[in-house]
Amino acid sequence: MNRERRIPRKELPPEERVKNFDEVAIGYMKEEAIEEAKRCLQCREPRCMKGCPVGINIPKFIRAVKEEDFVRAIKIIKENNFLPSVTGRVCPQENQCEGSCLLGKKFEPVAIGALERFVADWARDNNIIEKPEVKVSNGKKVAIVGSGPSGLTCGAYLANLGYSVKIFETLHKAGGVLAYGIPSFRLPDSVVEAEVEYVKSLGVEIEIDVLIGRIFDLKELFQNGYGAIFLGTGAGLPRFPDVPGENLNGIYSANEFLFRVNLMKAHLFPEYDTPIKIGRKVVVIGAGNVTMDSARVARRLGRDVTVVYRRTEVEMPARKEEVEHGKQEGLEFRFLVSPVAFYGDEQGNVKIMRCIKMKLGEPDASGRRRPEPVEGSEFDMNVDTVIIAIGQSPNRLIPMSTRDLQITRRGTIVVDEHEKTSIEGVFAGGDATTGQATVIAAMGSGKRAAESIHRYLSSK
């Protein structure tokens, strides 16, 4: 056993993966997982667990892996995490469990994410569906709005506690960002579908094509016998830079671009009916996970792709791994540059992006140095397609249709530490309350909200 270095995770070679949407990171084989599990120090006071927003008993499940008892391992994980094959793939482990791993102080931390993914995939491949013991039905109904990770988690917990749970989802497919946002080369559709099926198997009902705020407002949900409501509506509204020419043809929001490809399979047009059109020179504006996902999708559609960011690589909020993957796949980067206007041809297709150079000034509220334009440094870039990935705001339909629901100036729903909103019986979590964050944070808040709803309905 090598304490210093982790068992490397295999990846598809970049030349190959830019040609398809197959998963980039290849999971551990059984032997690799067991070897990696042996590296765990089994700390008596595990720091990794503190780094996990849902508090998985990490040393315990790793020990089960080491002992080749994967059934026990999945049981332990599922006590606190209903979607491990998702989080094993998309969690920023480097800032969470692995970032807190004691071994990591001197050597490479234990590959907790890869082990989690291994266990979850193993269970799925072997059809081992570990279900927690479901309490008998208590006859109480809870409505959940949104089928993203926060809603799925909240629903799963409540179902286990004996509640009858219904999730309402406006799109034609459940999963939230997992279904429409994160591309399949990071999170295959089959994984998301299996996790959604699992949540359904716990007794959670999911109804698609229902826009809450239109078909029912919150008052009507209460009238229909739901004792409590959880809002997991996410942060799905794309922001635009508010510069001239931003509505030219060929300028997409990242959401539109990803929605077309991931959810509607536009890259398979005309087999699928939804089209997508991208030109030879693609520019993606932004620096987060969404930016990297859009850029890597565009690259797979066979185009020259440049990521344009107004700060530098150090400030990029995207996961390091994603930036690395993107570089291997041939993405170009232009730092300290920001768009000021777009110009098009006669048909209104974008052709030129006028940019201004930036320099970094004093740190702002986020602690990152504030980008400032360098006067007179405008220059033009030739572009055929622009994807704007500069952030998303919370969905606003429910706040709009619900008087008394307190929201912040940024549009996020105000909640206390128990995920309670300003309206009795209404709880909220995930990106709708925090602005765009992470899958695991959304799950953590879904879990907290479930506990809070349970307390609320038990006391009624």
Ligand X SMILES: Cc1cc2nc3c(=O)[nH]c(=O)nc-3n(C[C@H](O)[C@H](O)[C@H](O)COP(=O)(O)OP(=O)(O)OC[C@H]3O[C@@H](n4cnc5c(N)ncnc54)[C@H](O)[C@@H]3O)c2cc1C
Whole-number minimum distance, CB 209 to other proteins, in Å? 5
Whole-number minimum distance, CB 349 to other proteins, in Å? 8
Interface residues toward ligand X, by CB under 6 A: 90-92, 145-151, 168-171, 176-177, 181-182, 210-213, 232-234, 236, 258, 289-290, 293, 395, 397-398, 430-432, 436-440, 442
Closest to ligand X by CB, 176 or 245:
176
Whole-number minimum distance, CB 50 to other proteins, in Å? 35
User: Contacting other proteins (CB under 8 A), which of 81, 85, 253, 421?
Assistant: 253
Q: Does 157 bind other proteins (CB under 8 A)?
A: no
Q: Does 240 bind other proteins (CB under 8 A)?
A: yes
Closest to other proteins by CB, 275 or 302:
275
Q: Which residues contact 92 (CB under 8 A, 6 or more apart)?
A: 319, 438
Whole-number minimum distance, CB 239 to ligand X, in Å? 12
Closest to other proteins by CB, 128 or 215:
215
Closest to ligand X by CB, 51 or 146:
146
Q: Does 343 bind other proteins (CB under 8 A)?
A: no
Q: Does 348 bind other proteins (CB under 8 A)?
A: yes
Closest to other proteins by CB, 244 or 361:
244
Whole-number minimum distance, CB 373 to other proteins, in Å? 22
Whole-number minimum distance, CB 385 to ligand X, in Å? 17
Chain centroid to CA 268: how far?
24
Residue 293: contacted member of ligand X, other proteins, none (CB under 5 to 8 Å, by partner type) = ligand X
Closest to ligand X by CB, 145 or 388:
145
Q: Does 340 bind other proteins (CB under 8 A)?
A: no
* Footprint on this chain of other proteins (rule: CB under 8 A): 170-172, 208-211, 214-215, 236-238, 240, 242, 246-250, 252-253, 255-256, 259-260, 264-265, 269-275, 277, 347-348, 395-397
